[in-house]
Structure 1
Amino acid sequence: MSPVLCGAALVAALAAPAAHAASGGQHGPGRVPAWTSTDTATDARFRGLAAVSSRTAWLAGSKGTVLRTTDAGRHWHDVSPPGAAGEALEFRDIEAFDARRAVALAIGEGEASRVLRTDDGGATWTESFRNTDARAFYDCLTFFDSRHGLAMSDPVDGRFRILSTDDGGGSWKVLPDAGMPQAQPGEAGFAASGQCLVSSGPKDVWLATGGAVTARVLHSADRGLTWTASASTIPAGDPARGVFGLAFRDRTHGIAVGGDYRPDQQSPLASARTADGGRGWQQSATAPAAYRSGVAWLPHSRSAALAVGPTGTDLTTDGGRTWRTVSTGSYDTVDCTPDGSCWAAGEQGRAGRAVLR
């Protein structure tokens, strides 16, 4: 199937009626379930997700849990780093290059923030970074390719701190902060979906913030050495509000999602879009129905994307201008693959998969 037809078919699959999509059931002849649940045999909450292909994916979550599947979710193998459960490490992001190589980020204050790497499918892990600065709290990581990547911490001395690797996560160094704009009072990132730091292409990277008066998106075109900051249209002004997730399909077209993560609070302006690399953001005419923490472009599509959160999944087919709910299942993060599949994960061990047929 051609890339264009793959994207169109997956849009049709995920646009099935919400009542059926929530259950993952069939929708008549030739239709595909929105999310097909897969049994992870755990109640961990998975906010870290790396979708490699329609068959291979990695999950990272609470209780020091890392899982991997290579058979489309029929079996999930516990490949958690030794000792991670005993230390109750909180994994919030994972980036994978294939079925054997992955880099996972544990979050928290001081030494709770760590980066671990595997080259053998999780059989063994190497700790490549442990934070020793009590002021730092790492939230997300991203890779430009299999060697070059970044991780970000909440502000230290008034600026977001950036780690850099050029050996696939084997070693890390703190980048100079001279090119980083001053943080606003109370500004931070949200370790909610592994999407507060995202990249596209060989050098462009974006960082999402909240908590301050203005929710911003910071952009670097030189792998994190220098940054510019732009205001988003997503409301902030509270530690629970701001931009939680970003997705860029190229270096100019992006979507931001967020809102207020508290279940008793409304999030009426929970998404925005950009067509100039994040210099300017436009509020969605019809936003997702509630707070959304994760977002992903559908494979090979220039206009379709998914946003997920605790109350459901929303679909846009016009680049983020308008959204409609297609599922009511709870997910925290979503990721799609070039071979025409999407994966989602969340609380109580939830993992879902949508594929073409």
Structure 2
Amino acid sequence: MTSPLRINRVLGDRPFAEIGEPALAVADESRGLLAVAGTYEFDTAPVGVYDVGDLGCRALVRSGYPVHAMAFHPTFPLLVVGTGRYDGGYLFEGELLLIDLETSTGVSLIEHPLGRQVLALEWLTGQEQRVLMAPPDDWQDKHTWVEGHLAVVRRRDRRVVPPRSITGVELAGPRVAAPRCDSREAARCAVSSLSGDWDPRRDIRAVEELSDGRILATLDGAQAESWLLSGDRQWTVPDHKGGRDIVVATDERSVWVSLMRPEWEEPPQSLSGSRSRTGRSSSNCPPRRLWCAAPTVYRPSHPPGISGSAAGFVSGAAAGSIAGRSTASASGRPNRVKPGSPQPT
């Protein structure tokens, strides 16, 4: 038997919070709607439809590819979304999504399993739609990045189009110029014009609750942030890549955050300490001089004997507390540390 989910507080709520960093925005002025697609990250791109009056989210779906084009149906509550990307070696793949704004559901319309990368969309009538696509592949074709294929897809009733029903024959069309456009700045302007206090909320990577009810979180764009019981943000520590894992000392006076840093980046800092009350920095440690923090039962993130890896350290830090708990060095031997800063090797 499962218990119903109850929402006590929503922290960081604001207009367009579902989207993160906007990549594309398209307006339907007649219905007072704005469709916003977010940046493609972690194999997904959110697509939200908002009422420009109260900025409420009316529909939300997620695409498995970056979004390049969107178009509202002229009469029905439908939004068609064109997505896709280059696979890195040969093919341009993607989807043509049809989203029902009343049910917040979407279907993929292209029959081929890999689909096509859709670059632009335009409704000609309520039954006809012009679709601009990248070529299927770049085999011996140096113009694939600046040209595409143009087709017109016809359906009598767009509300009852079955999934995977648009064939390759229907998508065949003449080769035309197809420059790739960057719509991110225009999307940011469209969103900002509707909400003056808007700023993007990106992915939350870790959350910890303190004994006094405060919530600590790491996220993209900030090492960490603290939220009070009132729902107000107490402090935030900005960071260009953000924090990943979070570890709270046993006395809850300090917080350690592993930062999103590749091994080769300078400075090679992967751990940052802050005061839990103010967010002020207490210590910063380079990864190659640290012991791995782990829970009481040690589970190595790498086989024993592999040392000097920033990724290995960060994985260990996510599992346990810096202060007063069992730890293990990179060699795999368990150790004990006192409350305070982690001990160097």
Q: State the TM-score, normalized to the length of structure 2.
A: 0.37
Larger-gyration structure (1/2):
2
Which gives a bigger RCO, structure 1 or 2 (Cα 8 Å, sep 6+)?
1
